Chains A and B, each alone.
Chain A
Amino acid sequence: MVFVFAINSSLNVEDSSIQILNNYEEPSPSSCFEAADRAATIYGLKDGVSFEEEYGFFNYIYGLCMD
């Protein structure tokens, strides 16, 4: 993990940090909340998706992430 970070750090520290977090981070309420929030927003932007449907989708993705 450290080795990957070292190679990537010459490119873009921020990007590589996010990549490592995404690949190796244990599920946590805050990271899962963020991922589910983003996923639900993307889903909510689709045609004909109501507020209620988006909310249901968020809850599912959050649960899936935390599992």
Chain B
Amino acid sequence: MKTKTIVVFLLILCKLNLYSQSGQIIYEAEMRMGNLNDIREAKISKKTKSLLLLTFKNQEKVKYNLEFNKKESIFKKVEKLKIDKNIFNIAENKIKGIFYTNKKSKKILHQKESFDQLFLITVPQFNWKLSQESKKIGEYICYKATTTKDIESRRGKSTIKITAWYTTKIPFNYGPKDYNGLPGLILELQEGELLIKSSLISLFPKKECKIKQPIKGKKVTLKEFDSIVKKIVLSSKR
């Protein structure tokens, strides 16, 4: 009996070892533009109006890939061949570069090119407010968590609301962009008008996802980066 139990236990261990503790999620990001009546009714030239409407009406979903293992994750755009016209994508403009998270060191890095320079930005962790509110995304029950993000723009300083839906059924606390640190994987995230939804989940592949931490770029904190950008934008004649 004892030998039988040991054999069963070893078989289970072998089976578990066949699959890595890693996974991959494809997300789709899009801008919820709302109605464009404020632009249609704005007292602006026809040229400006048509350029704005042309851009806002032609928004498509953009695909991003999150790869993760027990220690770290990486989030970046799924590159595709550009066949059609080069339309400015607002979601893409909001999610640029590579986001890297290291669970052990609690390090979040954002590598991106801005104003012809490559930056490696250290991003602080978000403080989440967990709630009992839940909804089903695919086959997963997801719980709501909220946080805020401060942004400095032409309007001055403002705070935008972030809502994440995570599932404890996938025990990896990662998510899109630099959003992580929840009790499970984020399957949906709303950042202001930007909506990021998971569309494909692939867990425990036979081969573990190997993640490479980005190392190139000028090392700055998020605060330093924001101040560099503000200085460049406000001093340029566009």
Contact = CB atoms under 8 A, between A and B. Distances in A.
A5 interface: no
A18 B55 contact: no
Q: Chain A at the B interface: mostly helix, strand, loop or mixed?
A: helix
Interface of B: 39, 42, 44-48, 51-52, 54-55, 88, 90, 93-94, 114, 149, 151-155, 158, 160, 191-194, 226, 229-230, 232-234, 236, 238
Contact of B54 (A19, A52, A57, A64): A64
Contacts of A40: 238
B238 A51 contact: no
Contact of A51 (B48, B90, B149, B230): B230
Contacts of B232: 55
Contacts of A31: 47
A39 B55 CA distance: 10
25 contacts: A18-B45, A19-B46, A22-B46, A23-B46, A33-B238, A39-B48, A39-B52, A39-B55, A42-B48, A44-B154, A46-B193, A47-B193, A48-B193, A49-B154, A51-B230, A53-B90, A53-B94, A54-B153, A56-B93, A57-B55, A60-B55, A61-B88, A62-B238, A64-B54, A64-B55
A5 to B, nearest CB: 16
A51 B46 contact: no
A24 to B, nearest CB: 11
